[in-house]
Chain A
């Protein structure tokens, strides 16, 4: 059954490509092999509708119109200039880049699409060698549950609604957004768009979307401003890296290698009855430093700055609570 259908569809494409006249459905029914299987008019029109949908889904540009001076129903044809991929000729280094680009995605939505693009480029005569050898193989995953519905909404230009969780203070709130794009930045996915509640452009982390994303209203309702550069919008929304603060730590002898490899040795000191080293360390990622240091437990003590010492203390108290101890 599927085979007959594929054959009918190829014949339909060839037929509509070869004609300059618009062919009515009835005419197509009498010409293209396979449609005669439909015994009733109703069966034929159902079959023909399904075929048209499939061709449109594949991107085949079906034109609808009426031949000059002819009365009657609309007909169909495919304009060759809209159907055919333009001339393309890639140098070997360009083709290598294309092969690598097609391998970038680890994504159900994008891997197949990239493969489809490669097939068409090859069919256009481009030799895309899969065995490109490069030093770095970049991979981008789209495992966030919110990714497929948001990508679809962006591509269809539809408004979306979702529950969004803010970390500080913790709150989950419904957001209505006109989506402009989905952006991967430093290993995380973001949605950029116009936040209808805040009446301003905003950037949302996909991992903080709770539950389902609902698309509202009609396709084509969202207009992305021409001037917006998605990537730099997300980059600008990130907190800027300030001056790198330095911390002084006491580290027990021979312990906490993870801290030592990042630190400068400035002396030795006995602390709490144990021998240890005095180290200085640049806190390149201050927001995550306290947790990282707390991870080493009693092997590392923050001497200064005081704020860091306090935050580490809070982390440890939190860990105690997390282990069910009332402190």
Chain B
């Protein structure tokens, strides 16, 4: 919050503060600060500044007046600033596009409430023209995933532990485990359950389409207090320096790898190719990925990965050649 004091950040807050306080006489300063995402100290500075502002004349009866009582504040004269400024086009877009996306996605919130909110905000904002941004949150998913979703959502909302049968692609392994659900996430078209995994003793994201069976248990969900939700802003996968590193050259068609997995040091090459450093924990998984990419990725390093890919590809080809001719 280094920029809380710069005028570009501060002016919108100053203009919103008086009407905000007007609607909430006697609000604790701490609560107001939290709503504006600033420290109580910063909010007090803002109030001190507003106290110096007012109408031409700038005498005692012209200035914004605030009364403080213990740690609360009340506006006693608003100098004509009783309503907030209209939403800018960018603000209206950010909010309305998100709301419309929610309205089109069943199972997240009550879509009827979302539609009512959209109508009210549109009316208040007076923005007739729809924004040039649209978001569809729906994803392509198998029918069995929809059933998994219902059971998982039930566990999350009722705060019940879940028993999962889960497929871990990195080890090509199916395991049963009990988890304490925290929330469900819908990121880049895929659904995840975020939960405390008692097997792994940590917070894990479980992709719903990899859950093969789920039971909602009678036991209450109890993630430990130190279970922190995943910060999704930098993507779901974090580079982990303790992991191995592969050097790959991605053909244009394999560029999605650089978007989906944590890669570093991307270097653009001619014809839309790119060289990247990619972290991986499990060599078997990395070999599967490279076989999957089928030549759309050239693996340069490490040498043992190069030879393992070559060995497995050759073995698979040899075996496929045993097919009786049809």
Task: Report which A residues bind B (CB closer than 8 A).
Answer: 2-3, 5-7, 9-11, 13-15, 17-18, 31-33, 54, 58-61, 82-91, 93-98, 100-102, 104-106, 109-111, 113-125, 133-141, 143-144, 151, 154-155, 165, 167, 170, 172, 179-188, 207-208, 210, 224, 230-231, 234-235, 241, 255-258, 261, 271-272, 284-285, 290-292, 294-298, 301-304, 306, 309, 312-325
Contact = CB atoms under 8 A, between A and B. Distances in A.
Contacts of A137: 183-186
21 contacts: A88-B124, A91-B113, A97-B114, A116-B88, A119-B13, A135-B107, A138-B185, A141-B232, A141-B235, A167-B252, A170-B251, A182-B133, A208-B252, A231-B135, A272-B322, A296-B172, A303-B323, A313-B320, A319-B295, A323-B298, A324-B310
Given A187-B188, A261-B174, A104 B295 contact: no
Interface residues of B, number: 134
Interface pairs A-B: 9 shortest CB-CB = A318-B295, A187-B189, A315-B294, A123-B84, A125-B23, A154-B132, A113-B94, A101-B98, A187-B188
A154 B133 contact: yes
B124 A86 contact: yes
Given A58-B11, A120-B84, A301-B319, A136 B120 contact: no
Contacts of B7: 2, 5-6, 9, 54
A294 B272 contact: no
B288 A296 contact: yes
For B8, B50, B108, B110, the residue with the greatest tally of chain A CB atoms inside 10 Å of its CB is: B108
Interface string B147-181: 00000110011000000000101001110000000
A263 B125 CA distance: 53
A138 B137 contact: yes
B113 A96 contact: yes
B1 to A, nearest CB: 12
For B8, B89, B188, the residue with the greatest tally of chain A CB atoms inside 10 Å of its CB is: B188
B93 interface: yes
A323 B299 contact: yes
B98 A136 contact: no
Nearest to B289: A295
A320 B314 contact: yes
A272 B319 contact: yes
Interface stretch (B66-74, B75-83, B215-223): B75-83
Contacts of A58: 11-12, 15, 85, 88
Given A182-B133, A318-B296, A119 B54 contact: no
Contacts of A271: 319, 322
B121 interface: yes
A120 B87 contact: yes
A295 B134 contact: no
Interface in B279-321: 287-299, 306-307, 309-310, 312-320
Nearest to B137: A138
B242 interface: no
Nearest to A59: B88
Contacts of B139: 186-187
For B15, B23, B94, B135, the residue with the greatest tally of chain A CB atoms inside 10 Å of its CB is: B94
Interface string B116-148: 110011011110000111111111101000000
A284 B140 CA distance: 10
Given A97-B102, A258-B169, A291-B293, A102 B140 contact: no
Contacts of A6: 7, 10-11, 14, 49
Contacts of B188: 139-141, 187-188
Contacts of B92: 117
A231 B133 CA distance: 9
Given A97-B99, A134-B109, A295 B292 contact: yes
A135 B85 contact: no
B307 to A, nearest CB: 7
Contact of B80 (A14, A87, A165): A14
A57 B60 CA distance: 31
B11 A10 contact: yes
Given A91-B116, A141-B233, A184 B135 contact: yes
Contacts of B309: 319-320, 322-323
A138 B186 contact: yes
For B173, B292, B315, the residue with the greatest tally of chain A CB atoms inside 10 Å of its CB is: B292
Nearest to B118: A97
A34 to B, nearest CB: 10
Given A54-B7, A110-B94, A318-B296, 11 more contacts: A91-B113, A94-B114, A98-B117, A98-B121, A104-B101, A105-B98, A119-B12, A123-B23, A139-B188, A258-B169, A320-B310
B102 A100 contact: yes
Given A104-B102, A301-B320, A256 B174 contact: no
A309 B326 CA distance: 12
Contacts of A318: 293-296
Contact of A113 (B16, B91, B125, B291): B91
B212 interface: yes
A293 B312 CA distance: 13
B228 interface: no
B264 interface: no
B167 A257 contact: yes
For A141, A165, A208, A224, the residue with the greatest tally of chain B CB atoms inside 10 Å of its CB is: A141
Given A18-B80, A86-B126, A284-B142, A31 B316 contact: no
A90 B280 CA distance: 48
A111 B232 CA distance: 13
A207 B256 contact: yes
B232 A60 contact: no
Given A186-B136, A257-B173, A323-B309, A123 B19 contact: yes
A170 B11 CA distance: 50
Given A84-B85, A123-B16, A207 B95 contact: no
